[in-house]
Amino acid sequence: MLKVTALQKIYNGGASAVEAVRDLTFELAEGELVCLVGPSGCGKTTLLKCIAGLMPPTSGTVELAGDSVTAPPPDMAVVFQEYGRSLFAWMSVRANVELPLKEKKLPKERRRELVAQSLEAVGLTAFADSYPWQLSGGMQQRVAIARAVAYEPKVLLMDEPFAAVDAQTRADLEDLIRNIWQRLGVTVLFVTHDIDEAVYLGERVLVLSSSPTVVQDDITVDLPAERDQLTTRQDERFTELRARVYAQIQQAKNSAAPAAAH
């Protein structure tokens, strides 16, 4: 479904060139939910933007369902890390969520339905007519999530979407994402800093090394499909996987340039 091959991205800003990503190769099967973890500044956002067709890679390719990605593909939604700047301050919450649907030329009835559903799902029904700047950071983040969910994408890219919400809301949103994923069969690539979250959410966890970035480890999460905040997190297998991801991240942080990726 989504295939990233030998992806390299060098930023050529001014005097110095920054190699954000060196050599990334991985693949997501259709309908897979994969979590991406890696040290801060290792190029996760860069990778997502290349996948989203917002930025051309320096070398390497991104393929979506067999087609090379050169522009933002239809049926893909991105939840940006800078959620505040990604919402349009001049539009109400409802209008923010509805705008992409309008561009998708959905009939009015359907749009209203999708907006209502997705705002309900993130618990913001009462704030539909507020403006984003009247909401807290966590609420803004949920608006951005609602917008992506309402879009009904085939591929969903999320860049630390739960960074600004409290633990309880976070747990609810995690279940929401799994629920949507199971219901709509969408392919999800989910960036997070939280190891527990990566293991709880993902079917697979990709660990990136620190810069120069390569895929350091690719861990299959063989937990049952039905997950529960309490029981899953107490599962012995959960603890093992968690420890493994933790060890990999430690290694990624410590070794500036890992000799062998994997």
Partner 1 sequence: MTKTDTTDAGPPPGAPAPRGRTRSGLGRALLGAAGIAAFLTLWEAVPRLGLVSDRYLPPATEVLGVLAQRATTPGFWAAVGDTLHGWALGLAIAFAAAVVLGFTLGALPRVRAFTTSTVDFLRPIPSVALIPLAVLLYGTDIRSTLLLVVYACFWLIYIQVLYGVADVDPVAEQTARSYGLGRLARIRYVVWPTTLPYLMTGLRLAAAVALILSITAQLIIGTPGIGQEIAIAQSSNAVAYVYALIVATGILGVLINMGVRVLERRVLRWHTSVRGEATA
Ligand X SMILES: Nc1ncnc2c1ncn2[C@@H]1O[C@H](COP(=O)(O)OP(=O)(O)OP(=O)(O)O)[C@@H](O)[C@H]1O
- Minimum CB separation from partner 1 for residue 69, in Å? 11
Among 100, 170, 190, 248, binds partner 1 (CB under 8 A): 100
CA angle 155, 160, 161 (to 5 degrees): 70
What values do phi and psi take at 258, rounded to 5?
A: -65, 130
Q: CA dihedral in degrees (181, 139, 39, 239; nearest 10)?
A: -60
Q: Token match 């739960």: residue?
A: 162
Question: Of 64, 96, 104, 62, whose CA–CA distance to 80 is shortest?
Answer: 96
Report if residue 45 touches Mg ion, rule: CB under 5 A.
yes
Report if residue 145 touches ligand X, rule: CB under 6 A.
no
Report if residue 14 touches partner 1, rule: CB under 8 A.
no
Report if residue 104 touches partner 1, rule: CB under 8 A.
yes
Among 46, 86, 187, 192, binds partner 1 (CB under 8 A): 86
First to last CA, the chain: 23
* Contact between residue 126 and residue 154 where contact means Cβ atoms under 8 Å apart: no
Report if residue 242 touches ligand X, rule: CB under 6 A.
no
Q: Which CB atom, from 26 or from 238, has the smaller least distance to ligand X? A: 26
- Minimum CB separation from ligand X for residue 125, in Å? 30
Report if residue 200 touches partner 1, rule: CB under 8 A.
no
Question: Of 140, 229, 215, 126, whose CA–CA distance to 178 is shortest?
Answer: 229
* Contact between residue 53 and residue 73 where contact means Cβ atoms under 8 Å apart: yes
- Minimum CB separation from partner 1 for residue 82, in Å? 5
Residues that bind partner 1 (CB under 8 A): 49, 52-54, 72, 74, 76-78, 80, 82, 85-86, 88-91, 99-100, 103-104, 131, 133-134, 147, 151
Residues that bind ligand X (CB under 6 A): 11, 13, 18, 20, 38, 40-46, 81, 211
Residues that bind Mg ion (CB under 5 A): 45, 81
